[in-house]
Copies of this chain bind each other. A is one copy, B any other.
Amino acid sequence: MVRKPTKSNVKADAKAVSTRKPNMREAILAAAEELFSTYGFNAVSVRDIAQAAGANPGSVTYHFKTKDGLLLEIYRRHCGPMNRRRSELLAAARRVRDLQDRLEAIVRAYVLPAFTSGSDLAGGGTRFTRLRAIMSAEGNEVVRKIIAQTFDDTSHAFIDAIHESLPHIPRTDLVWRGHFLLGALYYTLVTPERVSRLSRGSADGTDAGHAIEELVRATVAALQAPPLDPAISALRKAPGFAPGRALT
């Protein structure tokens, strides 16, 4: 990337010839993202990442100090833009008049950024969501903190918006269904043979598009389902059991 003149943000010159090697730091981040989201955090070594990025293992340590630091930086890169996009789409969805359409728009506002958000890289959104899926399965400790402090607000906003569209359904049920949505979303992105060409899909996202439409359709129907028998629900009012951290 030829080292920017200290203070101006010229980014246009880079990436002119596909992937040349504009910035080692970026190359490492991209390689780590790809490898982590494919094989998991523990299965990938710093040396694997360095090799994939065409860098020296020491360079990784130089830029990110530790392997955890590298993972942290990946999350920092994506969480902000992704949640910003979600907020924008959610705000737009809230303005939809028709109740049914509004609910669908809300769900879409949650799902879409998981497929398309993030950087300019193709498939950046799906790759990061795949990474989140794997990390949630591996129960990584470093990630848990970021998740809590980054996604909690957004998640509550979505639950609230859904609850406004479906006031007759107890919030507990909606939280569960939102939880299921995230699980379905994660699994869809993690199962490679099903969405293998997702990241290589054409710009209009027709390939990913179908998966999204199926997911939105199914989720809207699930959200609208009649709540469980209140007699049973009441039994479960025990504190601490109801999901408190849904959609994260």
A residues near B (Cβ < 8 Å) are 38-40, 42-43, 133-134, 136-139, 173, 176-177, 179-188, 190-194, 197, 206-207, 210-211, 213-215, 217-228, 232-233, 235-236, 241, 243-245
B213 and A232 within 8 A (CB): yes
Residues B192 and A40 in contact, CB atoms below 8 Å apart: no
A-B residue pairs in contact (CB < 8 Å), sample of 15: A40-B42, A40-B137, A42-B43, A134-B138, A137-B137, A137-B190, A180-B188, A191-B243, A193-B245, A194-B245, A210-B235, A213-B232, A217-B228, A218-B223, A219-B222
Please name all residues of chain B whose beta carbon is closer than 8 Å to the beta carbon of A43 when the two chains form the complex.
42, 138
**B194, A179: Cβ atoms under 8 Å?**
yes
Q: Which of A39, A40, A185, A211 has the most CB of B within 10 A?
A: A40
Complex CA–CA separation, A193 to B243 (angstroms): 8
Q: Which residues does chain B contribute within 8 Å of A184, judged by CB atoms?
A: 179-181, 183-184, 187
In the complex, what distance in Å separates the CA atom of A144 from the CA atom of B183?
20
Query: With a CB–CB cut-off of 8 A, which chain B residues contact A190?
Result: 136-137, 139
CB-CB nearest in chain B for A183: B187
Contacting pair A40 B139 (CB below 8 A): yes
Which B residues lie within 8 Å of A197 (CB)? 241
So how many copies of this chain end up in the complex? Answer: 2
Between A133, A184, A213, A221, the greatest number of chain B beta carbons within 10 A of the residue's beta carbon is seen for A184
Residues from chain B with a CB closer than 8 A to the CB of A138 are: 39-40, 43, 134, 137-138
- Chain B residues, CB < 8 A from A40: 40, 42, 137-139
Q: Is the interface of A mostly helix, strand, loop or mixed?
A: helix
- Known contacts: A138-B134, A193-B245, A225-B217. The answer to whether A179 contacts B187 by CB under 8 A is yes
Q: Which 3 A-B pairs have the closest CB atoms?
A: A183-B187, A221-B225, A180-B184
**Given A194-B243, A221-B224, A243-B194: A180 and B176 interface contact (C-beta under 8 Å):** no
Q: How far is the CA of A130 from the CA of B179 in the complex (A)?
A: 16
Complex CA–CA separation, A191 to B173 (angstroms):
17
Which residues of chain B are near A233, meaning CB under 8 Å? 210
Q: How far is the CA of A193 from the CA of B183 in the complex (A)?
A: 15
